Chain A
Amino acid sequence: MAANQEVTARKSTAVDERKTRAQEAPMLPAVDIFEDAYQITVQAEMPGVSKDRLNVQAHHNELLIEGDVQLDMPAGMTAFYADLQTTKYRRRFVLSGELETDRIAASLKDGVLTVRIPKRAEFRTRRIKVDAQ
């Protein structure tokens, strides 16, 4: 009987966790991703996110970008209209092996995050000369 109760209790926490996760579903920031001979660049728009509320990390071949919107709001403000209904941005990308994840550089300006991921030297694009006979 006691074991049974424990199972029930666990189930309900699992449901609660899922519920809170759904309510806090973060926004996907709009991104541009482009590659040149030396690096891949990710530019993400995260308006309202300041440097200290931003988290960029590369872990297990995954790039994680997340941030919290913080607005200057007077006390007791109520919403009159809202296109954005959450304050969290979050997006993840799978990186590939030729990228140097320990040399990622990130900068933030006016809500635009730029992440540069360099390619390993041996993977830089080399032009192949075609000899016509």
Chain B
Amino acid sequence: MFESLFSGFDTDIFDEFKRLESEMLQLFGNSPWPAGIRATQRGAFPPVNVGTTPERVDVYLFAAGLDPKSLDLSIQQNLLAVSGSHKVKVDEKADYYRRERFDGDFRRVITLPSDVDPDRVEARYRDGVLQVTIQRRESTRPRQITVN
């Protein structure tokens, strides 16, 4: 009975608390990963996830509404640099209540595992996510060893 009274609360007030909490985490970097020397503070645009398999490394950049033509991708050994411009069209005649979307130029450098092959990179942009796939070198892949 009382649940319904309180459940209405987890809308905005708790959303705001969660937001504050995540901003604190961003500030103090409470991340399970040790910070890389080229890492920017958490909350930098765009957020990045990196996943690996023995064959390849996939980098996902979460950047909605991007013009793929504005992107500049480069790779040097195992350093992937992505820069571009994320422009948000402003409606001059409207009154703004919230402006949270990132607007401007960005650059992120991502340190990849050292066995990636910089000659075999593919990138595509879909649903606001830029996915960069880098193949790993054959020689470093785990190999099954048979015991005689």
Contact = CB atoms under 8 A, between A and B. Distances in A.
B101 A80 contact: no
Contacts of B46: 47
Given A34-B97, A43-B101, A112 B65 contact: yes
Contacts of B42: 83
Interface residues of A, number: 41
Interface of B: 11-12, 15, 18-19, 22, 33, 42, 46-53, 55-58, 60, 62-66, 88, 91, 93-102, 110, 113, 125-129, 131
Interface string A94-123: 100000000000000111100000000000
6 contacts: A31-B98, A34-B91, A47-B129, A79-B51, A81-B48, A111-B62
Contacts of A47: 46, 62-64, 127-129
A48 B128 contact: yes
Given A33-B96, A45-B64, A92 B101 contact: no
B5 to A, nearest CB: 15
Interface of A: 25, 28, 30-36, 41, 43, 45-50, 62, 70-84, 91-94, 109-112
B101 A81 contact: no
Q: Which of A33, A35, A47, A79 has its CB near the most chain B CB atoms (within 10 A)?
A: A47
Q: Which of A82, A91, A112 has its CB near the most chain B CB atoms (within 10 A)?
A: A82
Contact of B128 (A28, A41, A110): A110
B34 to A, nearest CB: 10
B128 A81 contact: no
B66 to A, nearest CB: 7
Contacts of A109: 65
Q: Which of A32, A35, A79, A84 has its CB near the most chain B CB atoms (within 10 A)?
A: A32
B78 to A, nearest CB: 12
A33 B97 contact: yes
Nearest to A113: B64
Given A36-B95, A47-B129, A110-B64, 16 more contacts: A28-B18, A36-B94, A43-B88, A45-B64, A46-B128, A49-B127, A49-B128, A72-B131, A74-B55, A74-B58, A76-B53, A84-B62, A92-B11, A110-B127, A110-B128, A112-B128
